[in-house]
Amino acid sequence: SAVISQKPSRDICQRGTSLTIQCQVDSQVTMMFWYRQQPGQSLTLIATANQGSEATYESGFVIDKFPISRPNLTFSTLTVSNMSPEDSSIYLCSVQAGSETQYFGPGTRLLVL
Amino acid sequence: SQQGEEDPQALSIQEGENATMNCSYKTSINNLQWYRQNSGRGLVHLILIRSNEREKHSGRLRVTLDTSKKSSSLLITASRAADTASYFCVEVGGTSYGKLTFGQGTILTVHP
């Protein structure tokens, strides 16, 4: 299994600003993922964070809006840039730790005013 | 992975009753997984059933898989108020390693 922490757990931000979310895993993992869950909706995959290379983004998500870093095998950040109220969501990171099971962080609840 | 479709969308029961949620999928799978999310928090992996398995148990959870019908069910026995959550099934095929696609889920409410 893997234990994942995220910072911050929640934040309220002003329109036009940026927020960086951190994801820390207690073990080295190859694959880390970032998801978004808009209010009342299911989870949508934003991107796969690759160590040592650029993240792989899903359709509808771009690097300029959601830059991702993956400096090592236990850490990743997701930045939500130039925020608008539509970015208000829960952002979750997850990892695939050896088995086929994914482990999720507790999420970062973001409100953009 | 592909998107499983859960049914019903919402389920409301009394504590002690059993809860059954169904999931249908469209493609061939390696495995199918069920996750739980409590009130907008992180997801918890509940159980994984492989394509060559028909039934699996974990505590009060029982999952069945019918590959001929491309369907799965999750049964929670003797439900508790703490089981109140959203439940998602995710079908995992062979070509999209690690990428999970979530459906809308079933919102289960267990009344004390």
B-proximal residues of A, 11-70, CB under 8 Å: 31, 33, 37, 41-45, 48, 58
User: Cβ(B31)–Cβ(A100) under 8 Å?
Assistant: yes
- Note whether A42 contacts B41, CB cutoff 8 Å: no
Residues of A in Cβ contact (< 8 Å) with B92: 100
Q: Give the C-alpha separation, A57 to A11, whole Å.
A: 24
Q: What distance in Å separates residue A72's CA from the closest CA in chain B?
A: 18
- Residues A4-14: pLDDT tens digits? 999 999 999 99
Residues 6+ positions from B52 with CB-CB distance below 8 Å: none
Strands B106-111 and B10-14: parallel
Residue written as tokens 């870093």? A69
The yes-or-no verdict on residue B83 having pLDDT over 70 is: yes
Neighbours of B43 (CB within 10 A): 26
Q: Cα–chain-centroid distance for residue B6? A: 8
- What average pLDDT does the segment A16-45 reach? 93
Whether the CB of B88 is below 8 Å from some CB of chain A: the reply is: yes
User: Which backbone phi and psi does A24 adopt, to 5 degrees?
Assistant: -120, 130
Position with higher pLDDT, A18 vs B93: A18
Pick from B42, B97, B98: which is nearest to A92 by CB? Answer: B42
CA triplet A95, A52, A63: central angle to 5 degrees? 75
The yes-or-no verdict on residue B66 having pLDDT over 60 is: yes
The pLDDT confidence band at residue B1, using thresholds 50, 70 and 90, is: low
The pLDDT confidence band at residue B76, using thresholds 50, 70 and 90, is: very high
What's the confidence (pLDDT) of residue B94?
59
Position with higher pLDDT, A67 vs B27: A67
Residues of B in Cβ contact (< 8 Å) with A90: 40
Pick from A37, A48, A58: which is nearest to B98 by CB? Answer: A48
Structure tokens at A62: 């771009």
Whether the CB of A107 is below 8 Å from some CB of chain B: the reply is: yes
Pick from B30, B45, B103: which is nearest to A102 by CB? Answer: B45
Please choose, from the candidates B88, B82, B79, the residue with its C-alpha nearest in 3D space to the C-alpha of residue B107: B88
The pLDDT confidence band at residue B27, using thresholds 50, 70 and 90, is: confident
Strands A68-72 and B61-66: unpaired
Structure tokens at A71: 């400096």
- What average pLDDT does the segment B60-82 reach? 96
What's the confidence (pLDDT) of residue A98?
65
The yes-or-no verdict on residue A57 having pLDDT over 80 is: yes
Q: What residue type is assigned to position A68 of the chain?
A: I
Strands A89-96 and A108-112: antiparallel
The yes-or-no verdict on residue B95 having pLDDT over 60 is: no
- Residues A82-112: pLDDT tens digits? 999 999 999 999 998 766 788 899 999 999 9
